[in-house]
Chains A and B, each alone.
Chain A
Amino acid sequence: MMARGSNKLSPFNITALALGFSFLYLPIVILVIYSFNASRLVTVWGGWSLRWYVEFFNDRAMLDAAWMSFRVAASSATLATLLGTLAAVALSRGANFRGRALFSGMLYAPLVMPEVITGLSLLLLFVALDAERGFWTVTIAHTTLTLCFVAVVVQSRLGALDPTLEEAAMDLGCDPLRAFLAATLPLILPSIAAGWMLAFTLSLDDLVIASFTTGPGSSTLPIRIYSEVRLGVKPEINAICTLIIGAIAVVIVGASLAAKLSDARGESAAPL
């Protein structure tokens, strides 16, 4: 919304926006264009072609990695949403218990923790537990990474909700659990959905934690791509990256639509 009545951008603002956005998106645009390159050499333009997409869909190892990534992202996002929502509800609705501020702080700490540390500590844990590294260890690792993002998103929505709504539901005959389900859950559902999608994309993107916690034979897509790139960039990588960008764009738009819906339902905005 413009502060002043005008809907027009000044030339200065247009230039600033153009510069900023090209800085952000020019590399990606080049990558997308080069994914349709017919040439075998990454840096030489050889006309338009879909051959690298075809190549990818015939690359068994790459497809396995993509499927692995998808499964890890979906299950870790689901686990993180469940645990993160519970944490958010406990922290914003539970009585003012001792150490609440400490718990809130501890929930947010992983947001700023270097991934190398998270990854290494999880690796040490799994080794100590003698857990076989693979799908489940990566899923658990990604759950710990994304849980706090979900909790932050859901908690900000809960904080903006009127706590007397649940009291009203109890007054009208709901036990505490039903009151939560009938009065609060419908209002925080969009932010729970947004939290899930955020967790999904974070897990899909992650290279560092996954490479610490995965085992032989179960590479995620980022790990697979990274190891291929070390041997030299094939144009096929560009095609895969374009697909990932497309998938993430869809999820992010979905998440912001969900957040918008959440605003429209409640009285006040939930910052995402």
Chain B
Amino acid sequence: MTDDAAKAAWDADSARPEPQPAADVPLLRIDAVVKKFGAFRAVDRLSLDIRAGEFFALLGPSGCGKTTLLRMLAGFETPDQGRILLDGKDIAQVLPHQRPVNMMFQNYALFPHLNVRDNIAFGLKRAGMPRPQHDTRVAEMVALVKLEGLEKRKPDQLSGGQKQRVALARSLARRPQVLLLDEPLAALDKKLRESTQLELMELQRRLGLTFIIVTHDQEEAMTVAGRIGVMDAGRLEQVATPRELYEAPGSRWVAEFVGDVNLFEGQVEQRENSRLAIATRDAGTVFVAEPRQPVTKASVCVAIRPEKVKLSRRGPASDAVNARAINRLDGVVTDVGYLGGLTTYKVKLDSGAVLRSSMANTARLDLDAYSPGQRVVAWFTPDDCVVLEQ
């Protein structure tokens, strides 16, 4: 290729319109993809649409297949069945170097023999970008991740956070249509991780790119992503916004995986005034708001998040609250965990079951604190409960 031709090709590439957030055509469509390792199905008939400009998180325990899915998007693994459509074209069999997709690796995979500058420029050289533009782009990337002055350093002369930035700059330099991030912040300490999460979000908004992040850290997924796909055993359990995932989990597994939860198994006893009465073994009759999707099975599970369970010495006094036929359970505080911002309690109910509650420490003086051995009333409203079919 001559220089001019290369330049033209690159310009055409750069001038590629920002992915249009078309209403019903997703940028990336994963269609019934299966990946087997021997007899083990790492990814099992998984389908998922990802829109342009979205920050999407794949969340799941280790071994759930999320990394395998990401590696199929990057091209390092080939699906055994199914299609992966990017912009309408099937890329399932396309080799990694021919995909407009870049990946940021968990261990960063920086080239140890190249300095920061050459690491970032690596992909641009392969794309045949002409020198002046190439230099501009590298400088732009260095500025983007705030690494000015470190261009001549080798990777082993950088801190963990700086390496992470070089890896990010290198994977963004080619302006991929989709950026894949494999546990990008796992190696950073907590404070740095939190500030980097915010920077990642800011970067994604500014560049308008589509980011897909794989993580096992639910707080990270909830912080950065607009939508989260929760995976287990090679399948998507639920795809939802962070709030939906937490407040309206689709299954018992999701409710238990995302955050803490109290679960009571029981039978639907009666249905009245858009409210279900559920007879549970551990918590007596629990009133819950009727879910939008009608409950079809008799055997269900009631889920209540700990922070929705309030404790008081005598139970709620106000008539207004009483009128809502709230659920009340008597018990004894057995454990108190002070975490700074909140305090967690374990309450042993009279039925013998243990209920968890957490309360924000909104006042500096501990007027509201309970101590182990104290009798309390735990209560929660029907709206705070979620009914899950078994």
Interface on A for B, CB 8 Å cutoff? 162, 164-165, 167-176, 178-179, 182-183, 186-187, 265-267
Contacts and interface: CB of A to CB of B under 8 A. Distances in A.
B96 A167 contact: yes
A171 B95 CA distance: 9
B372 interface: no
B153 to A, nearest CB: 14
B112 A172 contact: no
Interface residues of B, number: 24
Nearest to A265: B113
A162 B126 contact: no
Given A164-B105, A186-B113, A265-B113, A172 B126 contact: yes
B358 to A, nearest CB: 40
A98 to B, nearest CB: 13
Contacts of A176: 95
B174 interface: yes
Contacts of A162: 107, 109
A167 B76 CA distance: 7
B156 A171 contact: no
Q: Which among A164, A168, A187, A266 has the greatest number of chain B C-beta atoms within 10 A?
A: A168
Contacts of B122: 169, 172, 182
Given A165-B109, A178-B126, 7 more contacts: A164-B109, A167-B103, A170-B75, A171-B103, A172-B97, A172-B123, A182-B111
Interface in B57-86: 74-76
B97 A170 contact: yes
Given A186-B113, A265-B112, A266-B112, A171 B102 contact: yes
A267 B113 contact: no
B113 A175 contact: no
Nearest to B126: A173
A168 B97 contact: no
Contact of A183 (B95, B105, B111, B170): B111
Given A164-B105, A167-B96, A167-B105, A173 B113 contact: no
Contacts of A173: 97, 123, 126-127, 174
Nearest to B102: A171
21 contacts: A164-B105, A164-B107, A167-B103, A168-B103, A168-B105, A168-B109, A168-B110, A168-B170, A170-B75, A170-B97, A171-B74, A171-B75, A171-B96, A171-B97, A172-B171, A173-B123, A173-B174, A175-B95, A176-B95, A183-B111, A265-B112
B112 A174 contact: no
Interface string B294-318: 0000000000000000000000000
Interface in B93-123: 95-97, 101-103, 105, 107, 109-113, 122-123
Q: Which among B75, B110, B123, B174 has the greatest number of chain A C-beta atoms within 10 A?
A: B123
Q: List the 10 shortest-distance A-B pairs measured between CB atoms, nearest first.
A: A173-B126, A172-B123, A168-B109, A164-B109, A170-B96, A186-B113, A173-B97, A171-B103, A170-B97, A172-B122
Contacts of B96: 167, 170-171
Nearest to A264: B156
Interface in B268-321: none
Contacts of B123: 172-173
B98 to A, nearest CB: 9
Contacts of B76: 167, 170
Contacts of B107: 162, 164
Contacts of B103: 167-168, 171
B184 to A, nearest CB: 13
B111 A168 contact: yes
A176 B127 CA distance: 15
B174 A187 contact: no
B113 A187 contact: yes
B174 to A, nearest CB: 7
B387 to A, nearest CB: 45
Contacts of A175: 95, 97
Nearest to A185: B113
A267 B156 contact: yes
Contacts of A187: 112-113
A8 B258 CA distance: 59
Contacts of A167: 74, 76, 96, 103, 105, 109
Q: Which among B102, B109, B156, B171 has the greatest number of chain A C-beta atoms within 10 A?
A: B109
Contacts of B105: 164, 167-168
B95 A170 contact: yes
Contacts of A183: 111
Contacts of A266: 112
A169 B174 CA distance: 13
A164 B111 CA distance: 10
Contacts of A170: 75-76, 95-97
A161 to B, nearest CB: 9
A168 B122 CA distance: 10
A66 to B, nearest CB: 38
A172 B170 contact: yes
A24 B170 CA distance: 53
A173 B97 CA distance: 4
A162 B110 CA distance: 10
Nearest to A165: B109
Contacts of B170: 168, 172
B99 to A, nearest CB: 8
A168 B112 CA distance: 12
A267 B96 CA distance: 26
A186 B171 CA distance: 21
B207 to A, nearest CB: 18
